[in-house]
Amino acid sequence: MKPLNHLGKAITSADWLDVPTNRIAFRKIEDVLPIAEIDNGLSSQKNFEQRLIPSEFLNFEDSTGVFNIEKFLEDSYTDGFLILYSGKIAYEWYTPTQSSSDRHIVFSVTKSVVGSLVGVLIDQGKIDPSEFVPHYVPELRRTAFDQVRVQHLLDMTVSLDFTESYLDRSGAYARYRRSVGWGGSEVDSTHSGMHAFLTEIPLKNQPHGSSFDYLSPNSDVLGWVCERAANGSLAALLSSHIWQPLQAESSAYITVDRLGAPRAAGGFGCTLRDMARFGECMRNEGNIDGRQIIPASWIERTIQRTDSPTWKAGAMADWIPGGGYKNQWWLTNNENNAYFAAGIYGHWIYIDPTRGVVIVKQTSRPEGPATKEMFQYEVGLYGKLAARFR
């Protein structure tokens, strides 16, 4: 890694998440953290067609007031924003410090990418979603994951005594971040790594599968399951099963801890256009340019609206009333069956299959975790923007 600097000071794993260094670091992760490359297969690149609309087309006025797209993008610390309509670029915007070739970390959007890989491996018979996790990862026997099924990981219904506290500087979540080499202090070279941390998380006194609880360690365990079940690194599996078949324009990456374990919960990074390409594949029921990449049956099961008791029992049920979370994807409750991937700091893949719209956003906002009001505003906004395309 070459040193990354801000105002003459090196950006490190200790401060890359902080303001204002995050706006530089988020698009230059390979200069701050160790990564594994996700090869795109250079001989098979595929570029998008364009049918551009003026920005004024996306401005509107409703009961909440006047909305201006460019003001929204600037005010929300957006680095890149793109709308696909019927598979063509309709609108593309970048802040002056980002270009279409920059790879930007997208945090928990990673979960949805990895969830889709699991769908591929299930279709190939390499993973059984009803199987217990230690069947694939024996190191997790006699841990909190001992009686957890793969489907529990996918749906975030594992009962862990752990709190997703992003602003924690000294507790369990801070130790979790240090275990993956992400922050709090310089990477501790004596730390035993992310996998060891996952074995130490306590069990909560509640049956697995009883309620939704959004906890990132579930996704890191899911990445571990993928590697063992398919006998390969997560980066290589994403490359061969997702990124190369997509004919992505650029390679992607995933961050790894000091021992090489991938951050399946949030370490994925790619260009904005390739992020949109992945969303377009999902919108087309796993198919792009005539190539079936992600099983259509998997996507159908993922986005099927259900009156989920586990979602209702979870703490975020009022964030998306009538919505849900399935196979590492968020489900809306709107009439178009829209669904989305979302990441801390404001990253989105919003898919409206009825209107043929995919909206992607890469961001470096300073506050990190969204409030319920911020989350609901953006979900509603992308529904309104998709409705501009009729």
Residue 274, CB-side half-sphere exposure with 13 Å CA sphere: 31
* Residue 1 banded pLDDT, cuts 50, 70, 90: low
* Residue 303 banded pLDDT, cuts 50, 70, 90: very high
Q: 97 with 57: CB under 8 angstroms?
A: no
Query: At a CB cut-off of 8 Å and minimum separation 6, what does 248 contact?
Result: 40, 45, 46, 270, 274, 277
Instruction: Name the pTM for this structure.
Output: 0.96
| Side chain identity, residue 331 | L
**In 338-378, where do the E strands start and end?**
339-343, 347-352, 357-363
Taking only the tens place, the pLDDT of each residue in 220-279 is 999 999 999 999 999 999 999 999 999 999 999 999 999 999 999 999 999 999 999 999
383 or 44, greater pLDDT = 383
Checking if the pLDDT of 6 tops 70, the result is no
**pLDDT value of position 43:** 65
pLDDT, mean of residues 118-124: 98
Q: Is 165 helix (H, G, I), strand (E, B) or coil?
A: coil
**DSSP 8-state class, residue 160:** B
Checking if the pLDDT of 205 tops 50, the result is yes
pLDDT, mean of residues 32-41: 95
What mean pLDDT, rounded, does the chain reach? 93
Checking if the pLDDT of 86 tops 70, the result is yes
Express as a percent the part of the chain with pLDDT over 70: 95
Burial class (CB in 10 A: 0-12, 13-18, 19+), 37: middle
Torsions phi, psi for 62 (to 5 deg): -140, -165
pLDDT, mean of residues 181-197: 71
Domain 4-386 fold is Beta-lactamase (3.40.710)
> Among 12-21, 98-107, 177-186, 297-306, whose mean pLDDT is lowest?
177-186
